[in-house]
Structure 1
């Protein structure tokens, strides 16, 4: 395990400098991991959580071979270092082959398979994708019917590579699965099949047959990957409207793996089993439960195409841990809240060493109860796509401070600074425990967004010659170097770790003839973290019901996660002195609504509630009950929410 315990350990590592023998690319990282023990298990996959003992496993030699074959296949299709290879896939072994093979041949672009057709088309077009890998038609899947209509809008796309789910079916059922896949294709497109349903500029291929004819022991391109070559594009900051795609380089991914390993070290090395349940279109799954363990010779267990959402995965999680001897997994607060409802029973989960939690603050009650029940160490951390993945984490061997996002990773600087509210100009560094904008600088920080206008005002000039990224989050650093988030990006709603741009909701609502102003905010939720809620101010002399607006949203918002849970019509929108919508007021209204409803449902009478913004702790809610003896019950109920609550 790493020796990082305190901030001074990080500074000592940095004084020694980055190792001279850092890999040049993600491909080289995986080569090094495979060299530790080529015959060790590298990747195991199961299709269903209820049948998780039925698995396929690849050794490191086999995994590297498949990745190399994939790179050679893309090279055969004409890919070079500047070719964008997009994938829209669930969590499959093939997804890993495509990600790392794609990075060895070109630039991989990850697209969320839960998006609707219009959003998929926008992202592929903005990324300038020339090759697309996605699922072939298969009964019970809805991906192909969403992707196929988008293809007509993509004149730059040259090749469509299809992954057949029937290839993942084992034994005697495989021929039947292949027949069902072909019948689904005929049902959708007739006997002429998929090729007849595509634009003339797109050629169709199947991944399995494409890999089968490629060598697995060398790159046909003979490419020498430069650390400054682009490796991947990941979507960030909302997924509809004008796409926002972060461009990362091989040196970014290599640096982030090295830095993260200094904390996690031997915890994700040879002999360790890492469970991946987060989606592989997200950087956490790709880096923390992908490239990091692969580069260190650990064993990744990929649990179902839908990850944690897959059938039987959460309900059988402790059996999965026991059977596969899982040592580490990464999740979001909603996962830990769900696992709290699953008794560990007689399962032997002693293999578990720690779990990483990010994406949103962990409710304190969930944190404490989970650790008490399982004995598992939860490492709260912080990261963003623009920082490759991990920026800070609580040290496994050091003090883990509840509510803190931990110490910054080695090699990446991070601090809270004061910025001018109007211009965003740097005014100075914050003092200890002073709240400011969190900025980061280092080799893990991305190159920028694909659309140049989105790069305005994201960099902060502190005068020290370094390139600092404004994360958009507010926080403070205490005297021992631990960081604490006190506010998130002004606009994003985070639903179960899924980032929702409020414009996704607001833009369609503004198109309704009765709507004057619309504002979307997050409503606290004990399972999802936040749920989107829309506030609407109507035009004069106009009338519409909340139910009618809800139906309008369902018909006009393509992103399912962005569908508002509630729509509230109000007389006047709260505004700032310069006429901007003041969303903190709306968010506080939702906090009060949640608390009031929860206590009323429990038969607890509320005397008074107030919300104040404090310097060190951010938003603090104070509650007074009619019957003070009900405090313990109220604390238990409200402890599942990521809110700071005190009782008078």
Structure 2
């Protein structure tokens, strides 16, 4: 007999192990992550893709969904070349490793390359153009923005006007304008901003074409980007990600499931959303996959939505990613094309209501796989598998991320680990845990602070749930979302899922409304289908029958044209709590015969009611002191 042959896995096998069943996660982790051969930075990811698949189509951008044949495409080599040109222009404008590039634009082709370039030479700081100018000033100032890249006047005149004001106020060195994905005609004049180099990004990049990036390549520990968290508390935080965070998490997302190099992904989420960057840009760059990008409006493009199944057919889309409300809309669009290439849809950002899941799958025959993640853990933390359903779970932890539940002592702040299966606060550890929040900017770059969210490497996600012994996560809500009625904890999802079971309801959010007797009572805000005649009273009665216990029945149901969402499409319950609090105070004052103007606002993280009235202060006090919220009066 000959000597035994030692099996040595190839580099590709090490980089792309099989991960199609829940059992594969532990097998993958038998090899340390640092032996997997991941690139050290997002720039190295791009360079590898250009060398490995230079002529393969990397991205296609649907700038006009009415004419799919006219959508332009770029290869991996072309993206790399354009990114280098932009990176050199940014360096010339003064960007260095500790400084940031502010990016303010809806999705266009140039924005993709600009983000990659910003990470290559400094720190990318993408922001939602819909944020207020005051928020943008705060975010960009904290980030240390030195150059601003923004949608030019052809894309969005309002955003360009805001960008000019920001450039002047922040004192940036350069303001570079983006043109549409497929520009037509001569570019309009950009005007002048005193002391700022104002020009089109393409012109700035062309002036530096062919030059090497003039700064050392990023290290794994360097900051790659800062992302605002969506502002669910009213004031957006800035979560900082290192290159190691982003590369590892992009790999974790790309390694999972049945997709291979030939699979085509569809992307429509905005690039200020971590999912768009990590899952639909960096992941495919690692895997060599082609991505079809929607135009600037994303899922808000009604023409694109009306042709979504034609898009799937033309490009043989294998998967798409969206929030639950997207799939609710897609469930109502007739399937008028061959969508056999579509293997599954990925859903995240907020819990997937069973009614939406069943409606989409019944309509299309395509399963939905729920995932889970948060900006503080870079992006993707858990996912489900095709053929291995776990009802009620947002998925199994991705490889190399650890997860547990803890009990946090409200008095001492101490954490106590809980065994598998017991509910508590979900905590995570691993290479995707963020570097901290940006709380300021110093001489060497952003000043970071985890603000108590990380302890011994473990991240407090703020989510409530349980974790089974296979690493599957079952969420029960946000710690701050619980409705407490007379000491009884109510999960708002119970009410929301009940209302979504009504055929006319398209969206539902439940919050606690302050109550003088019970502390809080459940209040539901809903949207209904066009043409529906169902009343709020009808829905209240329906929900009362559908919820599992009487305490969960909503006392109030309010029908809205649209539910408020954050910049990244998550339910913005702060606005609903403010409305419910304001209405509760107004109703109690009116019942006491007190005429008053009532307004609720967020002060230092707490909802505070302001009351303007000519009635004696002691009469107002007698009414409002029955509530737990703070309040102030004025004449």
Q: TM-score, normalised by structure 1?
A: 0.73
2:462 is the alignment partner of 1:456? no
Does the Cα contact within 8 Å between 1:136 and 1:164 map onto a contact in 2?
yes
Which residue does 1:337 correspond to in 2? 328
2:203 is the alignment partner of 1:212? no
Which residue does 1:471 correspond to in 2? 461
Which residue does 2:355 correspond to in 1? 365
CA deviations on 1:512-532 (whole Å, 9 max, x unpaired) are: xxxxxxxxx999586885569
User: How far apart in 1 are the matches of 2:275 and 2:517?
Assistant: 37
The Cα shift of 1:601 comes to 7.2
- Structure 1, unaligned stretches of length 5 or more? 186-192, 461-465, 494-520, 536-569, 576-584, 624-641, 643-648
Which residue does 1:274 correspond to in 2? 265
Given candidates 196, 205, 210, the residue that maps to 1:202 is 196
Which residue does 2:410 correspond to in 1? 421
Given candidates 40, 56, 65, the residue that maps to 2:56 is 40
For residues 3 and 372 of structure 1, do their structure 2 counterparts lie closer, same or farther at Cα, with a shift above 3 Å needed?
farther
Choose 317-326 or 14-23, whichever is displaced more.
14-23
2:524 is the alignment partner of 1:590? yes
Which residue does 2:391 correspond to in 1? 402
CA deviations on 1:434-474 (whole Å, 9 max, x unpaired) are: 111001111111100011796332123xxxxx400100001
For residues 605 and 468 of structure 1, do their structure 2 counterparts lie closer, same or farther at Cα, with a shift above 3 Å needed?
closer
Given candidates 105, 123, 137, the residue that maps to 1:121 is 137
CA deviations on 1:352-383 (whole Å, 9 max, x unpaired) are: 11211001111212212322332223110000
Which residue does 1:260 correspond to in 2? 253
The Cα shift of 1:98 comes to 0.6
- Structure 2, unaligned stretches of length 5 or more? 1-15, 440-446, 484-491, 556-570, 572-635
The Cα shift of 1:337 comes to 0.3
Which residue does 1:69 correspond to in 2? 85
Indicate the structure whose relative CO is greater, using CA pairs within 8 Å and at least 6 residues apart: 1
RMSD: 3.3
User: How far apart in 1 are the matches of 2:526 and 2:326?
Assistant: 25
CA deviations on 1:284-321 (whole Å, 9 max, x unpaired) are: 11111111011211111111111111241111100111
The Cα shift of 1:415 comes to 1.1
The SS at the match of 1:379 is strand
- Counterpart mapping for 1:96-245 below 5 A: 96-138=112-154, 141-155=157-171, 157-165=172-180, 168-169=182-183, 174-175=184-185, 178=186, 182=188, 194-195=191-192, 198=193, 200-216=194-210, 219-221=212-214, 223-238=216-231, 242-245=235-238
User: How far apart in 2 are the matches of 1:58 and 1:572?
Assistant: 61
Which residue does 1:549 correspond to in 2? none
Does the Cα contact within 8 Å between 2:508 and 2:526 map onto a contact in 1?
no
Aligned length: 514
User: How far apart in 2 are the matches of 1:532 and 1:109?
Assistant: 33
Choose 136-145 or 308-317, whichever is displaced more.
136-145
2:329 is the alignment partner of 1:352? no
Does the Cα contact within 8 Å between 1:611 and 1:622 map onto a contact in 2?
no
Given candidates 274, 278, 302, the residue that maps to 1:283 is 274
Does the Cα contact within 8 Å between 2:241 and 2:378 map onto a contact in 1?
yes
The Cα shift of 1:9 comes to 2.3
Does the Cα contact within 8 Å between 1:83 and 1:129 map onto a contact in 2?
yes
- Counterpart mapping for 1:605-616 below 5 A: none
